[in-house]
């Protein structure tokens, strides 16, 4: 699933493609917005808050500026096509939004989730619950630290995945941050230097979003298979010590317990039995403590 840096980069691409153009036709293919029309509105630009994309449109006579909210989750995407071009037929059933622009291009929102259209001055209704985001101008590191410290017993990986505490971090980043902190992913957040953790997370997310060739590279090497310390490395082993990388399966439907990678040698501390909600119905996958022999899995990024 795209993380905060993914959505930020998407927003910059959409700015280059759409900002300054006027919508001449709009077609929402979702029941809640089926009767809404953006025709005649200028695309002003895009903003992000964590993993949420905000597309802003100019006002019209008698109507204030509007903001379209969307979330990509695992499978969402945006596509801008030149005049006369069409999406493949297999993709058409998954289109949730079509915008025709004044230069003949067509914009498609594919498999978009959580679509909502509100007056721009009410964006807070949709994203006001989110924590500080390092990629925003209003980034507040002290507030992120305060929110993360609210419950010092929360496992580190769970605390960092909570978008209400700090927005934009997904599964890749929290796994790599736990490794770089030298602690088990299930170490209580109150047992680490939270201020240092937040500073490192913010620097890594900004670097990934803004530096050419650095996108989601956590090791300094962009070579395939060498770009992460532990995430996805259950076959190759820990990049630092060469020992086995363990992996604990996600709990389906539980955002607090995603798939987790860690090196037991480099990251001492509690195991998956300490994760939130652990009990008879929540168990690590059999063999989670040793490297898998199957093909490399996806990162399962939230």
- Cβ burial 158-186 (10 Å sphere, 16+ → b, else e): bbbbbbebbbbbbbbbbbbbbbbbebbbb
Predicted confidence at residue 243, as pLDDT, reads 97
* DSSP structural state of residue 188: B
Q: Minimum mean pLDDT among 113-117, 197-201, 203-207, 285-289: which range? A: 285-289
What pTM does this model have? 0.88
Distance CA 186, CA 60 (A): 51
Radius of gyration of the chain (CA): 21
User: Across the strands, what pairs with 237?
Assistant: none
Q: In the structure, what pLDDT confidence band is assigned to residue 198 with cuts at 50, 70 and 90?
A: very high
Mean pLDDT of 161-170: 97
Q: In the structure, what pLDDT confidence band is assigned to residue 160 with cuts at 50, 70 and 90?
A: very high
Mean pLDDT of 167-181: 97
Given a cut of 70, whether residue 185 has pLDDT beyond it is yes
Distance CA 212, CA 214 (A): 6
Answer yes or no: are the C-beta atoms of 171 and 161 closer than 8 Å.
Answer: yes
Given a cut of 70, whether residue 77 has pLDDT beyond it is yes
Task: Give the residue numbers annotated as catalytic, written as ranges.
Answer: 2-3, 51, 259
Given a cut of 90, whether residue 48 has pLDDT beyond it is yes
Distance CA 126, CA 215 (A): 27
216's CB contacts (< 8 A; 6+ apart) are 3, 5, 6, 172, 208, 227
Given a cut of 70, whether residue 281 has pLDDT beyond it is no
Given a cut of 80, whether residue 278 has pLDDT beyond it is no
- pLDDT, tens only, 210-268: 999 999 999 999 998 899 999 999 999 999 999 999 999 887 766 768 899 999 999 99
Distance CA 53, CA 37 (A): 19
Distance CA 297, CA 231 (A): 10
Answer yes or no: are the C-beta atoms of 263 and 245 closer than 8 Å.
Answer: yes
More confident residue, 279 or 88: 88
% of the chain with per-residue pLDDT over 70: 90
8's CB contacts (< 8 A; 6+ apart) are 48, 135, 168, 209
Given a cut of 80, whether residue 39 has pLDDT beyond it is yes
% helix, strand, coil for the chain, step of 5: 25, 20, 55
């Amino acid at each position: 699933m795209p993380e905060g840096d993914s959505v930020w980069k998407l927003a910059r691409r959409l700015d280059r493609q759409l900002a300054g153009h006027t919508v001449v036709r709009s077609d929402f293919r979702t029941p809640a917005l089926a009767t809404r029309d953006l025709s005649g509105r200028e695309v002003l630009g895009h903003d992000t808050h964590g993993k949420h994309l905000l597309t802003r449109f100019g006002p019209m006579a008698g109507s204030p500026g509007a903001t379209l909210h969307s979330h990509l989750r695992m499978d969402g995407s945006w596509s801008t096509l030149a005049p006369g071009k069409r999406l493949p037929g297999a993709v058409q059933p998954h289109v949730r939004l079509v915008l025709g622009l004044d230069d003949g291009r067509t914009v498609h929102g594919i498999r978009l989730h959580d679509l909502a259209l509100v007056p721009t001055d009410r964006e807070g209704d949709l994203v006001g619950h989110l924590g500080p985001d390092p990629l925003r101008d209003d980034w507040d590191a002290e507030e992120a630290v305060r929110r993360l410290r609210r419950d010092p017993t929360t496992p580190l990986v769970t605390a960092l995945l909570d978008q209400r505490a700090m927005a934009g971090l997904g599964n890749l980043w929290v796994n790599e941050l736990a490794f770089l902190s030298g602690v088990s992913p299930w170490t209580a957040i109150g047992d680490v230097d939270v201020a240092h953790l937040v500073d490192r997370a913010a620097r890594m997310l900004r670097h990934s979003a803004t530096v050419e060739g650095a996108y989601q590279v956590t090791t300094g090497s962009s070579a395939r298979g060498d770009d992460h310390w532990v995430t996805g490395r259950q076959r190759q082993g820990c990049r630092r010590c060469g020992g086995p990388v363990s992996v604990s399966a996600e709990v389906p439907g539980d955002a607090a317990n995603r798939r987790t990678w860690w090196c037991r040698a480099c990251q001492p501390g509690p195991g998956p039995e300490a994760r939130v909600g652990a009990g008879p119905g929540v168990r690590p996958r059999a063999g989670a403590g040793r490297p898998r022999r199957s093909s490399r899995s996806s990162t399962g990024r939230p």
